[in-house]
Structure 1
Amino acid sequence: MAIDKSLKRSGRLLRARNVLTREERIEQMKFNDRWDDERSPFGLPKTRVIRSVIGKKKKKKSAEDDEAGSTPAKK
């Protein structure tokens, strides 16, 4: 099986991913106090991946949009 091009270099894996490895899921469960050391590492429950949004920009309304939206069109 071929390696995906996003995984070939070490720095490319820094983006947000939907699927976590088993080790990452166990670390996340330990952080949330849901992990018991006697538990089997197989058949783990799903863990939610929370994505952080950095620098979300608000839409700016232009003057043309404000004028068109405030007055109804006349026939």
Structure 2
Amino acid sequence: MTIDKSLKVRRGANSTRSVLTRQERLTKLKESDRWSEGDSPLGLPKVRVQKLVMKKKKKKEEPEKEDDKKKKK
């Protein structure tokens, strides 16, 4: 039997999480100067997580094959 796609183990480094832990949010807020050490760690503002999207390559159509099909008919 094969394993369903949803149950397969994914590569950990390639997947992006949409939710950050509190520590990760604090480091991102510190980098952007939106949080300092004296501020409360509760009620933090939202931190946007950017996802990396790869563009799909377009297939190049070869006109030679189309011409060959027309000649055979």
Q: Report the TM-score, using the length of structure 2 for normalisation.
A: 0.57
- Give the match for residue 61 of structure 2: 62
* Identical aligned residues as a percent: 52
Higher radius of gyration, 1 or 2 = 2
Q: Distance in 2 between matches of 1:18 and 1:38?
A: 27
The count of aligned residue pairs is 55
Paired residues for 1:1-75 under 5 Å? 13-14=12-13, 15-53=15-53, 56-63=55-62
Deviation at 1:36, TM superposition (A): 1.4
CA distance in 2, matches of 1:13, 1:22: 20
Higher relative contact order (CA 8 A, sep 6+): 2
Structure 1, unmatched stretches of 5+, are 6-11, 68-75
Amino acid of the residue matched to residue 32 of structure 2?
Answer: N
- For residue 72 of structure 1, what is the aligned residue in structure 2? none
- After TM superposition, the score normalised by the length of structure 1 is 0.56
Look up the SS of the partner of 1:23 in the other structure.
Answer: helix
Q: Are residues 43 and 13 of structure 1, via their aligned partners in 2, closer, same or farther at CA, if it must alter by over 3 Å? A: farther
